[in-house]
Chain A
Amino acid sequence: QSVLTQPPSVSAAPGQKVTISCSGSNSNIGNNYVSWYQQLPGTAPRLLIYENNKRRSGIPDRFSGSKSGTSATLGITGLQTGDEADYYCGTWDTTLSGGVFGGGTKLTVL
């Protein structure tokens, strides 16, 4: 199982807001930057957020990231059907001395 914990799925209606949580420990999220990735079906992941809350160039401000203690959150407002994808959080784990991911969250826009 994954070092970081994400809910397997979330859903919301078009135009609504959703949040995706990512829980870890002091070994990873607590002391390292978190990044978030969107993976559309059949494609490579795409960086959305880096260093906890910085939007990658070209990513709309509907996407936001935050971190508190050993947890991080991705927020998406004004949901669109094109946002349906798998979302992953990632960070460095100091104890493992390696990168770690959450198990991924499947977003469904109803």
Chain B
Amino acid sequence: AQTVTQSQPEMSVQEAETVTLSCTYDTSENNYYLFWYKQPPSRQMILVIRQEAYKQQNATENRFSVNFQKAAKSFSLKISDSQLGDTAMYFCAFMKHQGAQKLVFGQGTRLTINP
């Protein structure tokens, strides 16, 4: 079974700083998807960024980028120029590529952006 581990339960940075959230996963699959979701205090789950394992290039979405290291099974999220609205729980998630699949989530990292 696939597992996803987020080793940082909480992080806190000042506004405008850059922050990196860690995620590692365990799988024997060669092809899969990885995601970062954000859950602000409103409780809504919001897709931040998506990576396909067969693509070498790291995904980017505006201020959000990932460092995908397939051999190390690592998928970290970098938030540049952090804003107060980035304060949220961040979840890393894994999904196999074939068949009927489910998102497997990590435990989450609570990120606080301080003014």
A and B: bona fide binding partners: no
